[in-house]
Amino acid sequence: MIKASMSSGKVTLFHQDPRSGVTYRVPALLYIPTDTLLAFAEKRSSARDEDAEYLVLRRGRKTGTSVEWGPSEYLTSAELPGHRTMSPCPVYERKSQTVFLFFICVRKHVTEQWQIWTGQNAARLCYVWSGDAGQTWSSLTDLTEQVIGEDLKDWATFAVGPGHGVQLSSGRLVIPAYTYHITARCCRLPLPCWTLPRALVFYSDDGGQRWHKGELIKGMKTGECQVAEVACQACDPVLYCNARTPRQCRAAALSTDQGLTFESPSSCEQLCEPPDGCQGSVVSFTPTAGLLEADGVEEPDAPAYEMTCLLNDENAPSTIRRSTMSWLLYSHPMDKCKRVDLGIYLNRSPLNEAKWEHPWLLYKGPCSYSDLAVLQEAPAPLLFGCLFECGVNYACEEIAFQLFCFEDLQKDRVSHRSLENQPKTKLKCN
């Protein structure tokens, strides 16, 4: 048993074996309202993607502001013969109290780059489910033909998440995903330079019985992504997507139809990417009444840019009273040149990409993929958890978990050029 508390800092859940080379990568974290946490990762024989083997799990029990973690378990049912299991993406269905764990199964020894160059997909879209908070798991279901179908011929490869999915206020389950979309061929062969990463979501409206796919996000190269629902007072909730790009900064896009389609993404200049990008995590949460009051949400004479949402509809007003009832947290390495120094960013106005605040440094040193979870929100004191890759010399040395509260975000924030001086790009909401 390992116990994490507010005062303990990070605790290691999965650790690389320097002798055998066994490495754990790609964390996914899910909080279940029964005060249970599920921490997933890939077990690999080395740090390389093609050496992934299967998924592992540790179950945590939250008591107050501490979490006690059980032993590591091998998810035996989350496997296809001749394939490696990758990219865990769990989501919790509230009504049936069911955990759906999505992942991809990729033919062994086939690299992502080979799939992109040849256009020959080797990935399968799969899931298992649990009705007892991760104690037991169902057999594997392969959704590839049912959900992707004929479009698979234009997908060189694809993956889900990685990291958590979400259930929207409408009940819809949403799994973030991305594909390498073949947009041009010559003599029936794909042109790799025209095989582009595109984010999308898979979704279910019947509690996970049937699954469908949304449209690809076009207009910018968007890869690994996560989504969060943003609740607004003056309009329906919107689905916010934050995606990895190769452009030195993140991309963000909004959907007003719960993920069926997304508007053209915008560049998030405040959220930097290292060369070739890196996965990041985003969650929405309900701030306490005290935080909302301190933020001036109820003040009628607040500045217009704090209270507006741009619309695409020509007949709609260009500004509306819009107090978002959700705030966003985002985790990602903070350095523009390499994967180091994991930061936690806060946005109190999620529809305004210029409103990301200076990050709080969660971990100093090599780091990479991460996943956030909201453990408590209003009216209770806010409490969050982060599962992340880190190390002393290399980011793949361990996967650690750390608790933090909202007050942590307000102290020891990294000092750099004021985000307020950046161009104020607003995401559109229609």
pLDDT value at residue 315? 32
| C-alpha 264, offset from chain centre | 19
The pLDDT tens digits of the residues spanning 9-22 come to 899 999 999 999 99
Catalytic site residues?
49, 369, 389
Residue 430 lies in a domain: no
Q: How far apart are CA 360 and CA 347, in angstroms?
A: 12
Encoded tokens for 218: 């076009």
pLDDT at 2: 85
Q: How far apart are CA 18 and CA 128, in angstroms?
A: 31
Summarize pLDDT for 283-303 with one digit per residue, the tens. Answer: 999 988 788 777 665 433 333
The DSSP secondary structure of 354-372, one letter per residue, reads GGBPPPEEEEEEEEEEEEE
194: its two tokens: 């025209």
Residue 428 lies in a domain: no
In a domain, 18, yes or no: yes
Does 427 map to a domain?
no
Amino acid 225 reads C
Angle at 106 between CA 101 and CA 107, to 5 degrees: 145
Asked if residue 73 has pLDDT above 60, the reply is yes
Confidence label for 324 from pLDDT (cuts 50, 70 and 90): low
Q: Which amino acid appears at position 376 of this protein?
A: Q
- Checking if the pLDDT of 155 tops 70, the result is yes
Q: Out of 171-175, 385-389, 403-407, pick the least confident.
A: 403-407
Q: How far is CA 172 from the centre of its chain?
A: 17
* pLDDT tens-place string over residues 76-132: 999 999 999 999 999 999 999 999 999 999 999 999 999 999 999 999 999 999 999
Split into its structural domains, the chain has a count of 1
Please report whether residue 216 resides in a domain.
Answer: yes
Mean model confidence pLDDT for the chain: 89
Phi and psi at residue 109, to the nearest 5°:
70, 5
| pTM (two decimals) | 0.90
Distances in Å between the alpha carbon of 93 and those of 97, 130, 165, 172, 189?
5, 10, 10, 9, 41
Lowest mean pLDDT among 243-257, 332-346, 413-427: 413-427
For the stretch 275-313, what's the b/e string if a residue is b when 16 or more beta carbons lie within 10 angstroms of its beta carbon?
eebbbbbbbbbbbbeeebeebebeeeeeeeebbbbbbee
CATH number of the domain residue 248 falls in: 2.120.10.10
Q: Which two tokens stand for residue 207?
A: 């509690």
In this structure, is residue 429 part of a structural domain?
Answer: no
User: What is the total residue count of the chain?
Assistant: 430
* Residue from 213, 279, 282, 211 nearest 245 by CA: 279
Residue 263 falls inside a structural domain: yes
Token pair for 307 = 């209270």
Domain that holds residue 39: 2-421
Exposed, middle or buried by CB within 10 Å (0-12, 13-18, 19+), for 64? exposed
Residue labelled with tokens 């509809």? 313
Q: How far apart are CA 322 and CA 320, in angstroms?
A: 6
